[in-house]
Amino acid sequence: MGFEYLTNQIIVKDKDYEMPFSKGILARSLTAAGLKPSIAYSIAREIEGMLKDEGVKVISKDELRRRVYYYLIDKNYYHIAEKYLLWRRILKKHPIIILIGGASGVGTSTIAFEIASRLGIPSVIGTDSIREVMRRSISKDLVPMLYESSYTAWKAIRTPLPENCNIYITGFERHIEPVLIGVEGIIDRSLTEGLSVIIEGTHLVPGFISEKYTTMPNIIFIVLSLSSEELHKKRFSARARVSNRPMERYLKHFKIIRMINDYIVEQAKKNNVPVVENVSISQTVEKCLEIITERFMNLDDGNDDDF
């Protein structure tokens, strides 16, 4: 039995699929365009009511977007309407790849999932997961750094280092290099298959990913940071309450983690990658969406008829 046989259900049809109209999905898209969640959901509910009053049972995805756009214009949400349409165009035509880097504990995974939810990007991949996969195919004897954390990789250094070399940062650099092979493989696959993805984690450091990726207009790099050491420590405490990762291990190596944080920020500045201070999740998400929107305006063809 298809969706069209369900009572009082509006069906949204696209070329390859059909699904019930969802106020939550529409509200998410409106929130990504800049509306507050409460207002976005209220508008989504009003649009659903309008469609039901008209007796609409089936509507194409493009027609729904067109109605949402002109509804926003009618309510004087001109800027929101343009941003909503911009995102619909971009996500329809281009695979979007967002890279979110930052030291352990600054919140890359939280922000990545929030942005993915706002933009409707179905896939979020952590570099820790990539590292785990690579561990299964590369022995510890061959690449011992893979079997350490970003802040303990220095312990696996086997060769003597110059006297003025920071062993902790050198260990970190050698730790991220093999993981980036996996990262670039995922980027290649996403581009080939036309799938949008967000990749997040400590291993994403500006200056280490191949320039051929960082210069692509539909790939954007953002680095998160925490200037406050006290807040950074509290993040590890909060993480420990909701996961199995013990806080003590992070606090024991906290000075090294702070070195890595400062190093990643320095690398971002050298490579013109935006750095966002992640004090407030909501403000960080909004700032990241602003950065992403501004960058991806270059992908828009400006065709107002293309919904």
pLDDT in tens, 139-153: 898 889 899 999 999
Those residues of the chain that have pLDDT short of 50 are 1-5, 304-305, 307
Buried b (16+ CB within 10 A) or exposed e, 48-61: beebeeeebeebeb
Residue by residue, DSSP assigns 34-72 as T--HHHHHHHHHHHHHHHHHTT--EEEHHHHHHHHHHHH
Residue 301: the pLDDT is: 56
Residue 298: the pLDDT is: 62
Residue 293: the pLDDT is: 83
Cα distances from 285 to residues 24, 100, 106, 108, in angstroms, run: 18, 12, 13, 11
Residue 279: the pLDDT is: 94
Residue 104: the pLDDT is: 94
| Residue 122 region by backbone torsions, left for phi larger than 0, else alpha for psi between -120 and 50, else beta | alpha
Sketch out the chain's domains with CATH numbers.
Answer: 3-92 (no CATH), 97-299 (3.40.50.300)
Residue 1: the pLDDT is: 44
pTM for this predicted structure: 0.80
> Rounded distance, CA 59 to CA 57, Å?
7
Residue 4: the pLDDT is: 46
Residue 304: the pLDDT is: 47
